[in-house]
Amino acid sequence: MKQTLVTGNEAAAWGARLVRAKYIPNFPITPQTECIETLARWSADGELPGTYFDRMESEHSVMSAAVGAAAVGTRVFTATSSQGLLLMHEVLYIAAGMRLPIVMANISRGLSAPVTLWSDHNDFLDQRDSGWLMFHAENNQEVLDMVLQAYRITEDPRVLLPAMVNMDGYVLSFTDEPINIPSPGQVEEFLPGYDPAHTIAHGRPITVGPPVLDEYSIFKAQNHVASRNALAVIEEVQDDFERIFGRRYHLVDGFMLEDAELVLVTQGSMSTTAKAAILEMRDEGIKVGLLRLRVIRPWPNEAVAGALKDAKAIAVIDRNVAPGKGGIMFPEIIETLYNLDRRPLVSGFVVGLGGKPQTESKVKEITHKLMDDLAAGRPRMEWNDLEET
């Protein structure tokens, strides 16, 4: 298959182009900017027929305009990062509550203050409870594939929730990787035009986003059910996806888990580094594997528990921090395993904040610490990011 060198930002832009998004409200922020610049160039060159590229005055207005356009039945794409995602925060809940299938790429970057341009996952995970579907890509091929799949999943009548596709800033956003860019015909076969059942049309006025009284919890429960429905839909779309594009994804990404006694739980681009380290450690006879979380919301508890239940010890590697608590995914993993008959030991490591590189030697160090924890029978929660500063 023909491969093309593109950055993560360009891969997301290709996704928006191939799904024929009709409306792209946007606002620049590092490291997302190249994504919208790519779309702006295509729009100026007439390569996005049927798409309106709308420059807004803030990310808050980007998400507000996305809501307006999606409410009238338009397929919408946008992208942001970091502070921009936080500025959207209010409207993210509204988009989910209105059940609007907007797809947005987030190119993750640490949050101020102090200012950093480099990646960690706090921006994205801060939106965890917004009602959006939340996906996290490992590489640029997965960025493009996730955007394509996100539209199929969000537009499914059982789901109708917005979806966020996360990629790590710089590591993916500005790195060229060879990927397969499918043909427009292939994508059209996978994802037909958007034909919503519920939208504003002539002769059929509707009300979107009114106040409610006692019914509030019913709407929130529907949001929850729709998100849980997405678990099955994510798996269902893989058959079509594999038939057309030759690739297949799962709710979680397992690596050398079959006989693994030790398992590292990771997210995003650091997973590739960790996999390389695991191959070397396997040569040394260490039975270590990896579980990459790629679907964060809805939370695939059965898939996560199934992948981890036979491990002796688990290291949850969080590229984020909830100050006063620890890594954000650490307790989610513990909670997922709590009701198993035999619970593995689970240690937590906070790493790589503000783009601090996650090297193979760091991954090995964490693995050896996990072995120590297992031998001592005592898990740890450690900030593994502070030396050499």
Partner 1 sequence: MQEFKSLKDIPEQDYFTGGSSTCAGCGPSLGLKLALKVLGPETIIINSAGCMTLLPLYPNTPLKASWIHNAIENAASTAAGARHGLDMLGDKDMNVVVYAGDGATYDIGFASLSAAAAKNERIIYICYNNQSYGNTGFQWSTATPYGSETKTTPRGKENPTGTTVVNKDMLKIMGAHRVYAATASLAYPVDFLNKLGRAKERDGFSYIELLGACTAGWNYDPRLTIKISKLAVRCGMWPLYEIEHGMLNLNKDFSELKPVDEFLNMQGRYRALPPNGVERLQGLINEHWAELKEYNGQRYV
Site residues (vs partner 1, CB under 8 A): 22-23, 25, 50-52, 54, 56-58, 60-62, 64-74, 76, 90-91, 94, 200, 202, 205-213, 215
Question: DSSP states of 241-278 as a string?
Answer: HHHHHS----SEEEES-TT-SEEEEEETTHHHHHHHHH
Asked if 131 and 96 count as a contact pair (C-beta separation under 8 A), the reply is yes
CA-based nearest residue to 193, from 14, 17, 20: 20
In the complex with partner 1, which residue's Cβ is closer, 66 or 345?
66
Shortest Cβ 273–partner 1 spacing (Å): 40
In the complex with partner 1, which residue's Cβ is closer, 55 or 248?
55
Strand, coil or helix: 323: coil
Question: DSSP states of 100-144 as a string?
Answer: ---EEEEEE-PPSSSP--S--SHHHHTTTTSS-EEEE-SSHHHHH
In the complex with partner 1, which residue's Cβ is closer, 200 or 340?
200
Shortest Cβ 332–partner 1 spacing (Å): 29
Strand, coil or helix: 173: coil
The 8-class DSSP code of residue 319 comes to: S
How would you class 197 by CB atoms within 10 Å of its CB: exposed for 0-12, middle for 13-18, buried for 19 or more?
A: exposed
φ and ψ of 248, to 5 deg: -140, 140
Shortest Cβ 219–partner 1 spacing (Å): 9
Shortest Cβ 25–partner 1 spacing (Å): 6
In the complex with partner 1, which residue's Cβ is closer, 197 or 213?
213
Of how many residues is the chain composed?
389
In the complex with partner 1, which residue's Cβ is closer, 72 or 276?
72
Shortest Cβ 323–partner 1 spacing (Å): 28
Shortest Cβ 131–partner 1 spacing (Å): 15
In the complex with partner 1, which residue's Cβ is closer, 74 or 358?
74
